[in-house]
């Protein structure tokens, strides 16, 4: 059996990812010989290697992007690495129907920092969150299986927690206006309990700012119970001379405007 035959068998069985060790074992070859065979197929555009030793099969409809779409191989890659993950931030917002603009990269939350992936025209960027395995997720069906996706509530908290990965708080506010219909106040509270209280403070303030105060009652009680120190709305700016929002204990050191 040749490497090309092995790949054809995988495709026939509906599988589009594999590890180099799998091929070497199936063909009875050394890893060196197997890698050489896979490189030849890669040059033909039939397969690609988004991560060292981990390959994806590229069906004809995706040859122009030179890789599988990220949601069709990230679940298998993270299983291969035995690491918890979920699609997050702008990518998660897009699946929830709230992406103001199509994200330029696919964002994945993981437990520790790792290098990004550039595979053909596909770009994947990882963001670290220590308790990633505890965050509420939903399964999203793709042509190759299921993708773990942060819930709307967890997505909202991540967006205010990592505004530098979401094109700033103005864009976050815009996305939140589109995400509102999916957010449940009770579930938001549960997600907030797994997040820094400063995230709940900023999120509550922004939700009120965009006219969604009706879903913040439980979140406000959570903040009140925590009695946190005031947190800046914009972390990178000074709070000197700014006004404090009493309910959310937020130092309003900048203007946040949603694009409606």
Strand duo 106-110 + 122-128: pairing: parallel
Q: With contact defined as beta carbons under 8 Å apart, do 123 and 106 qualify? A: yes
**Exposed/middle/buried for 60, CB within 10 Å: 0-12, 13-18, 19+?**
exposed
Neighbours of 72 (CB within 10 A): 20
Report the CATH number of the 3-62 domain.
1.10.10.10
**Exposed/middle/buried for 26, CB within 10 Å: 0-12, 13-18, 19+?**
middle
Interior angle at CA 35, CA 32 and CA 39, nearest 5: 140
Residue pLDDT tens, the chain, 260 long: 788 999 999 999 999 999 999 999 998 999 999 999 999 999 999 999 999 999 999 999 999 999 999 999 999 999 999 999 999 999 999 999 987 677 889 999 999 999 999 999 999 999 999 999 999 999 999 998 999 999 999 999 999 999 999 999 999 999 999 999 999 999 999 999 999 999 999 999 999 999 998 999 999 999 999 999 999 999 989 989 899 999 999 999 999 999 86
Which residue intervals of the chain bear CATH 1.10.10.10?
A: 3-62
């Amino acid at each position: 059996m040749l490497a090309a035959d092995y790949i054809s068998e995988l495709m026939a069985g509906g599988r589009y990812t594999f590890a180099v060790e799998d091929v070497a074992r199936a063909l009875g070859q050394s890893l060196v010989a197997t890698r050489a065979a896979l490189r030849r197929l890669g040059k033909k555009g039939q397969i690609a290697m988004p991560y060292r030793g981990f390959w994806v099969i590229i069906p004809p409809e995706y040859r122009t992007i030179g890789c599988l779409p990220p949601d069709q191989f990230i679940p298998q890659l993270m299983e291969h690495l035995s690491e918890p993950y979920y699609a997050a931030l702008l990518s998660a917002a897009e699946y929830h129907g709230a992406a103001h603009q199509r994200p330029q990269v696919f964002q994945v939350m993981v437990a520790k920092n790792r290098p990004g992936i550039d595979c053909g025209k596909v770009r994947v960027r990882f963001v670290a969150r220590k308790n990633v395995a505890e965050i509420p997720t939903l399964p999203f069906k793709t042509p190759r299986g299921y993708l773990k996706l942060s819930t709307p509530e967890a997505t909202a908290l991540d967006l205010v927690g990592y505004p530098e990965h979401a094109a700033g708080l103005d864009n976050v506010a815009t996305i939140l206006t589109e995400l509102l219909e999916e957010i449940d106040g009770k579930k938001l509270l549960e997600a907030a309990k797994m997040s820094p209280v400063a995230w709940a403070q900023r999120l509550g303030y922004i939700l009120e700012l965009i006219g969604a105060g009706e879903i913040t009652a439980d979140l406000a009680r959570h903040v009140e119970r925590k009695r946190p120190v005031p947190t800046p709305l914009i972390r990178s700016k000074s709070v000197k001379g700014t006004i404090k929002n009493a309910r959310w204990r937020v130092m309003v050191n900048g203007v946040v405007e949603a694009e409606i």
